């Protein structure tokens, strides 16, 4: 039986004190409090973000990824949050394709809650060959 992680959701996501964060459309009642507890700084100016949490449960929402990329700091991460399991209206491969089309690479997945999953995307490293 695999060991159960004792890391908090914010630890798994990589939230650190002073990080500039924004949340767009993610309906999670404890997210803001958890971010604050870790010392993250919620901002309304959507630029130079260290972390952007974005809810995307439709092709239309995924179509907005291109507008989100410029909001990220150079080493910032976009967490795309969507429903999982039978309630999923977009597949992980669709989420990955939408982000990849705008120069992002997926590098982590975290179970956001019992009903939501999240995929982390960052800018591809300069000079790195994109995956086929």
Digit-by-digit pLDDT tens for the chain (132 residues) are 666 668 899 999 999 999 999 999 998 999 999 999 999 999 999 999 999 999 999 999 999 999 999 999 999 999 999 999 888 999 999 999 999 999 999 999 999 999 999 999 999 876 555 554
What's residue 17's pLDDT? 97
Q: Which of 44, 78, 84 is nearest to 62 (CA)?
A: 78
The whole-angstrom separation of Cα 42 and Cα 63 is 25
CATH topology of domain 9-122: Rossmann fold (3.40.50)
What's residue 127's pLDDT? 57
What's residue 87's pLDDT? 87
What's residue 5's pLDDT? 67
Domain ranges across the chain = 9-122
Helix (H) or strand (E) holding 117: strand 116-123
What's residue 90's pLDDT? 94
pTM of the shown model: 0.89
Q: What six digits make up the tokens of 9? A: 């959701």
Q: Strand 49-55 relative to strand 72-83: parallel, antiparallel, unpaired? A: parallel
Give buried/exposed letters for 93-122 (b at 16+ CB in 10 A, else e). ebbbebbbeeebbbeeebebbeebbbbbbb
Residue with tokens 């890391």: 7
The whole-angstrom separation of Cα 95 and Cα 65 is 9
What's residue 6's pLDDT? 80
């Amino acid at each position: 039986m695999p060991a159960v992680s004792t890391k908090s959701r914010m630890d798994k996501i990589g939230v650190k004190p002073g990080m500039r964060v924004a949340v767009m459309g993610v309906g999670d009642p404890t997210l803001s409090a958890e971010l604050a507890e870790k010392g993250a700084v919620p901002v309304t100016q959507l630029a130079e973000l260290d972390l952007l949490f974005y809810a995307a449960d439709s092709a239309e929402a995924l179509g907005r990824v291109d507008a989100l990329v410029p909001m990220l700091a150079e080493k910032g991460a976009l967490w795309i949050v969507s429903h999982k399991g039978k309630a999923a209206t977009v597949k992980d491969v669709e989420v990955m394709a939408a982000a990849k089309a705008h120069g992002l690479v997926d590098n982590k997945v975290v179970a956001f809650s019992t009903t939501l999953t999240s995929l982390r995307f960052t800018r591809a490293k300069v000079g790195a060959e994109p995956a086929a």
